[in-house]
């Protein structure tokens, strides 16, 4: 391979779908591996909703925006194919922010070796960002207790599906909010959720009341949208709200209006947003918490795999249409 492909960010989203006007596939010369460096061939690229934030010009966020004309930021997993580095040998698998590119030359900073003999799809779907995010948000903020009720939005997604299964394993009543009957059926039949709400077709207030007769103690928020107002109304005293994502608002010029905050006072609710870069130092502890659930077969996942780097350019839109059934991954 004397050349390789990468995807550069060439313009910022203005609302509407992502396409070649924003993300440009370019051909590059294979890099030379210097002393103390190694070359990674990325095998699986992770697509994540956070990438829309990284494309925006917002300098106030938890991570700087991607500069126009440079390789788009993304995480992934790959294999070392050349090495002049004492700690990384040919054949080692590594994961981290590899960017949207087939080859990466690096000194290894910020990357982690993958020692577990698991398929790349399982690592990206469970042990990487989705599982770490689910574990941090649920236990760090949600503080679930057996017998309580949790509502999870984006419940068939990579983060939401793990949150719901962890909560179910801990003895909570788990209700998931999804955008299709197929996803509703999957989270109940396959993942063991107690109930599902299709936010596109159900009467939200009626269905939520039916499924949460004892109110709601924990709310894991991945999406925003009208269900948020209904959930806040049904929160129990001292309920906890983990604000993980707000995908319904990402494509909008103006976010939706927030719910009424009076219940926050009357019910003494705790609401906390979080972003995983704050918790990268906690990864060993988060993995130690998550792994036993996985080993006991309590965490199922599904991956939605696209083929070839070019498929990432429009593949990202699946997050907004709900077309992704599980963790969105591009196999390179």
User: What one-character-per-residue DSSP string does 153-211 give?
Assistant: ESTTSHHHHHHHHHHHHTT-EEEEEESSHHHHHIIIIIT--SEEEETTTS-HHHHHHHH
Quote the least distance from Cβ 224 to ligand NAP, whole Å.
7
Grouping H, G, I as helix, E, B as strand and the rest as coil, residue 2 is coil
Quote the least distance from Cβ 86 to ligand NAP, whole Å.
33
Q: Which is closer to ligand NAP, CB of 51 or CB of 111?
A: 51
Q: Which is closer to ligand NAP, CB of 180 or CB of 236?
A: 180
Q: Output the residue with the shortest Cβ distance to ligand NAP.
A: 157
Catalog residues that contact ligand NAP under the rule CB under 6 A.
48-50, 129-130, 133, 154, 156-160, 178-180, 183, 199, 222-223, 225, 244-248, 274-276, 319-320, 322, 324
DSSP 8-state assignment for residue 323: -
**Rounded to an integer, what distance in angstroms lies between the CA atom of residue 177 and that of residue 221?**
10
Q: Which is closer to ligand NAP, CB of 39 or CB of 77?
A: 77
Quote the least distance from Cβ 28 to ligand NAP, whole Å.
28
Quote the least distance from Cβ 22 to ligand NAP, whole Å.
18
**Rounded to an integer, what distance in angstroms lies between the CA atom of residue 136 and that of residue 128?**
12
Q: Which is closer to ligand NAP, CB of 80 or CB of 211?
A: 211
Q: Which is closer to ligand NAP, CB of 37 or CB of 180?
A: 180
Q: Which residues face 45 on adjacent strands?
A: 76, 330
**Rounded to an integer, what distance in angstroms lies between the CA atom of residue 266 and that of residue 288?**
37
Quote the least distance from Cβ 283 to ligand NAP, whole Å.
13
Q: Which is closer to ligand NAP, CB of 83 or CB of 136?
A: 136
Quote the least distance from Cβ 33 to ligand NAP, whole Å.
32
Quote the least distance from Cβ 218 to ligand NAP, whole Å.
16
Closest CA to 332 of 124, 176, 155, 138: 124
Q: Mark 272-283 as b/e (b = at least 16 C-beta within 10 Å).
A: eebebeebeebb
Q: Which is closer to ligand NAP, CB of 78 or CB of 225?
A: 225
Quote the least distance from Cβ 229 to ligand NAP, whole Å.
13
Quote the least distance from Cβ 200 to ligand NAP, whole Å.
7
User: What one-character-per-residue DSSP string does 99-159 give?
Assistant: -SBSEEEE--TT-EEE-S---HHHIIIIITHHHHHHHIIIIIII---TT-EEEEESTTSHH
**Rounded to an integer, what distance in angstroms lies between the CA atom of residue 206 and that of residue 316?**
33
Q: Which is closer to ligand NAP, CB of 4 or CB of 220?
A: 220
**Rounded to an integer, what distance in angstroms lies between the CA atom of residue 14 and that of residue 203?**
32
C-alpha distances in Å from residue 256, one per residue of 78, 142, 207, 250, 251:
39, 24, 22, 10, 11
Q: Which is closer to ligand NAP, CB of 89 or CB of 285?
A: 285
């Amino acid at each position: 391979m004397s050349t390789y492909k990468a995807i550069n960010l060439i313009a910022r989203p203005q609302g509407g779908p992502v396409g070649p006007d924003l993300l440009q596939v370019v051909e590059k010369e294979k890099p030379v591996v210097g002393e103390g460096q190694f070359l990674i061939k990325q095998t699986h690229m992770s697509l994540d909703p956070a990438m829309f934030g990284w494309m925006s010009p917002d300098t106030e966020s938890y991570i700087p925006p991607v500069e126009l004309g440079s390789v788009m930021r993304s995480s992934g997993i790959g294999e070392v194919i050349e090495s002049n580095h004492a700690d990384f040998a040919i054949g080692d698998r590594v994961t981290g922010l590899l960017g949207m590119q087939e080859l990466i030359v690096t000194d290894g900073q910020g990357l982690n070796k993958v020692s577990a003999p698991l398929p790349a799809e399982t690592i990206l779907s469970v042990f990487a960002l989705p599982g770490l995010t689910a574990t941090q948000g649920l236990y760090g903020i949600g503080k679930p207790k057996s017998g309580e009720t949790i509502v999870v939005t984006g419940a068939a997604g990579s983060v939401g599906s793990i949150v719901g299964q962890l909560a179910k394993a801990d003895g909570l009543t788990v209700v998931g909010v999804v955008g299709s009957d197929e996803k509703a059926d999957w989270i109940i039949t396959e993942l063991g959720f107690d109930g599902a709400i299709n936010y596109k077709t159900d009467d939200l207030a009626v269905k939520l009341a039916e499924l949460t007769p004892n109110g709601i103690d924990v709310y894991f928020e991945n999406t925003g949208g009208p269900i948020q107002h209904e959930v806040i109304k049904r929160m129990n005293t001292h309920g906890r709200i983990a604000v993980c994502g707000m995908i319904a608002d990402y494509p909008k010029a103006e976010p939706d209006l927030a719910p009424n905050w009076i219940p926050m006072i009357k019910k003494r609710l705790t609401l906390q947003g979080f972003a995983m870069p704050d918790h990268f130092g906690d990864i060993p502890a988060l993995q130690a918490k998550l792994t036993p659930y996985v080993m006991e077969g309590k965490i199922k996942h599904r991956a939605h795999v696209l083929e070839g780097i070019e498929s990432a350019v429009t593949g990202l839109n699946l997050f907004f249409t709900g077309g992704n059934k599980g963790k969105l991954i591009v196999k390179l």
